[in-house]
Amino acid sequence: MNRFAAALIAVAFVVLSLAGAGPASAHATVIATDPADNATLSEAPARVSATFNETMQPAFAAMTVVGPDGNLWSTGAPQVQDAVVAVELRPLGPTGTYTVNYRATSADGHVVTGSWKFELTVAGTGTPGPSAAPLAPPPQPGDDLPVWPFIVGACVAVGAGAWWAARRRT
């Protein structure tokens, strides 16, 4: 009987720790961009920005704007101001699709990557930066899912089982 009870407690704790992994992995997301995703613009913006749902770490942020020509049209380092990550643009050039790529670190240490696009309908007179290089290696699969709830759940389950067994013996 006490083995059965201990097993039941162990299962309960594992289920609870699995359930806890859901909210823990819901980290920062972009809630708004400027320009908006798929916006059609006749005039080039001076900068682009993404607003997240929480304050972002200023360190290790990256944001680039790649034009239809495959060249870099953003200039300088990205600026992080609370929940907003932004980068300045050169005066834009050819018409077509410009892609904004970003990589930023949320307060909980998770790296958030993504991109959005806007369309320039009237060509500008700007000259591009260098040919665009990829932002960074993509995060490894599994990086997103914190491991600690599983470890805590396992420890608690083992502890509860031991406690139950000891209690029954006395």
Residue 143: CB minimum distance to Cu ion, A = 10
Cβ closer to Cu ion: 43 or 108? 108
Residue 106: CB minimum distance to Cu ion, A = 5
Cβ closer to Cu ion: 37 or 108? 108
Q: Which residue in 58, 62, 110, 128 binds Cu ion (CB under 5 A)?
A: 110
Residue 27: CB minimum distance to Cu ion, A = 2
> What's the one-letter identity of residue 159?
G
Backbone angles phi, psi at 157, to 5 degrees: -65, -45
82 binds Cu ion (CB under 5 A): no
* Nearest in space to 73 (alpha carbons), one of 137, 139, 29, 117: 117
Site for Cu ion in 1-60 (CB under 5 A): 27
CA distance 64 to 2: 60
**What number of chain residues touch Cu ion (CB under 5 A)?**
3
Which single residue brings its beta carbon nearest to Cu ion?
Answer: 27
Strand partners, 86: 49, 79
CA distances from 1 to 4, 14, 119, 164, 166 (A): 5, 20, 68, 11, 13
Q: Which residue in 43, 82, 108, 143 binds Cu ion (CB under 5 A)?
A: 108
Cβ closer to Cu ion: 29 or 97? 29
Cβ closer to Cu ion: 17 or 106? 106
CA distances from 115 to 57, 112, 141, 165 (A): 18, 10, 18, 54
Question: Which residues form the interface with Cu ion (CB under 5 A)?
Answer: 27, 108, 110
